[in-house]
Amino acid sequence: MRFLWSVKAGIYDRARSLPGLKKILIKEKRHLSELLPESAGQLKTIVDLGTGTGSSLDVFPGGVPVVAVDRSIAMLRQAVKRNPDLAAIVADIQTLPFKNSSVPFCTCVGVSEYIPERVSLLAEIHRVLEPSGYLLFTAAPRSFPNVLRLILGHRLTLYPAQPWRNLVEKSGFRLVDGRRSLLQIQLLIKKINKTQ
């Protein structure tokens, strides 16, 4: 799978700039911007999980340091070209190289559909988030366009939207707000402590 993303790195942005897909992606980015908490501009750091080529990083407030995490070196190279100030880490987002409760704000955009182990993904993100930390998260629900992606050869794991919301709450998070576009649900969720 890592090899496949390395091959895709060179054409990924061009494919996403096709007119129909570009319009969908612009709407998704607008939703992500709307979901950013008002305190996002005061953050110390944003950790972006599954950064890819960095095409979603422009939704973050300027001046906030971003740490990009991805398994593909080729994808991260593209992201650093696009964002020279980016700190890049090659790692698997299911075993993050961060201490417990050390990350104030995580994003996981356009990634979860490629990871079948959704419970362990949310558990790992919960582990590294600070108490009351935020996660900006997307998931690809079952829908005709996403089933079409499967037919075209994408290896996706699709779940209905509502089970994602339920899983978020069972995983130690509180759903703050959400949006839906043609290909994704976008969720802002907050880590909750056991006593909350």
Outline where 96-170 has alpha helix (H): 118-128, 144-151, 161-170
Mean pLDDT over each residue of the chain, to the nearest integer: 82
Mean pLDDT within 128-140: 91
Outline where 17-83 has alpha helix (H): 19-35, 73-82
Least confident segment among 20-29, 90-99, 124-133:
20-29
Whether the per-residue pLDDT at 181 is higher than 90: the answer is no
Whether the per-residue pLDDT at 5 is higher than 70: the answer is no
Q: Which pLDDT value is given to residue 15?
A: 53
Q: If we measure between CA atoms, which residue out of 144, 180, 176, 148 comes closest to residue 161?
A: 180
From CA 3, how far away is CA 59, in angstroms rounded?
A: 28
Q: What six digits make up the tokens of 156?
A: 């996706």
Task: Between 36 and 92, name the one with better pLDDT.
Answer: 92
Q: How far is CA 105 from CA 14, 82, 155, 161, in A?
A: 29, 21, 28, 23
Q: Which pLDDT value is given to residue 26?
A: 81
Mean pLDDT within 6-22: 53
Q: How far is CA 125 from CA 2, 18, 52, 92, 167, in A?
A: 21, 32, 18, 12, 13
Least confident segment among 45-49, 58-62, 77-81, 186-190:
58-62
Is the pTM higher than 0.75? The answer reads yes
Mean pLDDT within 8-18: 50
User: CA-based angle 52:57:58, to the nearest 5?
Assistant: 140
From CA 124, how far away is CA 75, in angstroms rounded?
A: 22
From CA 160, how far away is CA 175, in angstroms rounded?
A: 16
Q: What is the pLDDT of residues 160-176, one digit of tens each?
A: 677 788 888 899 999 99
Instruction: Give Cα 114 to chain centroid, integer Å.
Output: 11
Query: Class for domain 2-191, per CATH?
Result: alpha beta
Q: Judge contact between 91 and 71, C-beta under 8 A.
A: yes
Question: Letter for the amino acid at 85?
Answer: D
Q: What is the pLDDT of residues 36-59, one digit of tens each?
A: 876 666 678 899 999 999 988 988
Per-residue pLDDT band at 126 (split at 50, 70, 90): very high
